[in-house]
Amino acid sequence: MPEFSLLAGHFGTLKKTIQGMPSDATLHSIMLKISQQFSSGIFYINMWPFSGTWMVVSTPSAASQIQKLNLTKPVILRRPLETVTGGPSMMSMHGETWKKWRALFNPGFNPGYIIGLAPNITDEVATFWLSCAKGQQGEVFPLESLTTRLTVDSICSVVLDTQLHHQIKDHPLATALQRQIDWTTFGTTFNPLKRYLTIRPLVLWYNNKVMDRIIGGEVDRACRTPPDHPSKSVISLALREYLQEQASTNSTRSLAEFKRLVAPQLRVFLFAGRNTTSSTLIYSYYLLAQHPEVLAKIRAEHEDVLGADPAEAQGRIKEDVQLLNKLPYTTAVIKETLRLFPPSASMREGRPDAEIIGEDGQRYPTVGCNVWTLTVALHHNSDYWDQVENFIPERWLVGPEDPLYPVKGAWRAFEFGPRSCIGQTLAMLELRIALAMTIRQFDITPAYDEWDSIHPATTAKEVNGHRAYQAERGAGGAHTADGFPCRVKERC
């Protein structure tokens, strides 16, 4: 473990590490820096006064063991998650309850099913395209303001079969969700003064009312859909699965109960998917702008598969959605982006009978610890990745004999096993479509120099050599620093 003080625990180590880093750098980035001191890939750190002891792991074998132990999420995550989602969701549930809801939604996120909803996503990306082309007129602007709206619209289109048009005008569902996230941070959840002696409870109550009303209306609409004209949305498929289950078990559980219990699941799809997909799309643009040879290759693949005219890409995809499965280099670009800038990590609660065995054979007890698979540290561990800091999409296309070939279990952007991210197929599909419909139409280039001249920084503004570092925003996850200021220029 890091140097320990009887009075301050590891607070001194945290403070020392933070010095020289941007003030809004993610905790993931801070822990990455600390983890590089421990060759075993496993260490303990006491997070007093913010939390208890954490075990941080960054090896494939340890991460795999944690996955197989099927540990529960710790309360420091469950409480904020359930504040955002309005109740237990698949992200916070465990045991049989989790299995039931996961089974209901699994068919809707099956790769073979979700690709059939690609036309819905192309319509939302077309709106994003117009926003890029017309909205900014060559000015420097934060791209995140557009990409987050794109992902919200895409998720609602696929999951609810409804168009929010949030890219055109603020939608109350998206606004209430964002406000809920803004008012839900680890600090405000656990600080009793901020929790009860502010307007926070009233704000959260109001946000819940807005989201429940809108989501409830969409579920009602799905229930009224004629059987001979079924919707292909994820919620409609889950509803059909639910009704079949009730019929087979002679259950008396009502649709009203389904409506009440499904609302947090729908909120969690929006919460989990909005920023992760948005930030990955931004980082794809960022890395492609820095590597023109990779940009040329991905554009060539799109021309080969989708035709010479970029404006026809949407039509080609709608005519034959299977074309999206013929873009291996595009998929490699996305996976390499997720390796360098993973948007999340996995934390579980240790228990007395659970131990992790390190690669050196040492046993690490988990009792009394929050066990954190630090994805960013694993993805930047040179023991498992050749040319670890380089952006090389080709590593995802080579065979096992090549030094670039990924070590099994070392890439965990969506985790593995039964509790892997249920929305990963949707995220990858949306990213492929967004790149296919925009990367030949626009040059998207970072404009941090111009941004910094207007907004001078008082602290460091790089992490690991990147100005576009991952930035913290409360319960909203890892964002691109300053929203990724850029210029978007339409190509001739």
Tell me the three state secondary structure of residue 391.
Answer: coil
486 labeled part of a ligand binding site:
no
CA dihedral sign, ordered 52, 58, 61, 63 = positive
Q: In what order do the strands lie in the sheet with 485-490?
A: 141-142, 485-490, 442-446
Strands 478-480 and 42-46: unpaired
Cα separation, 353 vs 204, in Å, equals 38
Burial 416-453 (b: 16+ CB within 10 A, else e): beebebbbbbbbbbbbbbbbbbbbbbbebebbbeebee
Mention every residue, 6+ apart, whose C-beta is less than 8 A from residue 431.
277, 280, 281, 284, 334
Residue 83 near residue 201 (C-beta atoms within 8 A): no
- Three-class SS state of 107: helix
- In order of 11, 78, 341, 379, the CA distances from 345 in angstroms are 22, 15, 11, 11
Question: What is the rounded CA–CA span in Å between residue 11 and residue 17?
Answer: 10
Of 157, 173, 167, the closest CA to residue 114 belongs to: 157
What are 201-206's contacts with CB under 8 Å, separation 24+? 203/179, 204/83, 204/180, 206/176
The answer to whether the CB of 345 falls within 8 A of the CB of 374 is: yes
Q: Which two tokens stand for residue 39?
A: 């060759």
Q: Which segments of 12-167 are extended strands (E)?
A: 42-46, 53-57, 141-142
Q: What distance in Å separates the CA atoms of residue 10 and residue 469, rounded to the nearest whole number? A: 25
Closest CA to 63 of 413, 438, 430, 457: 413
| SS3 assignment, position 40 | coil
Contact between 437 and 122 (Cβ < 8 Å): yes
Angle (CA) 236 432 170, round 5° = 60
Structure tokens at 214: 């809108």
Instruction: Give the SS3 label for residue 53.
Output: strand
**Which tokens in the block code for residue 438?**
């925009």
Contact 296, 395 (CB under 8 A): no
Residues making up the binding site for heme: 421
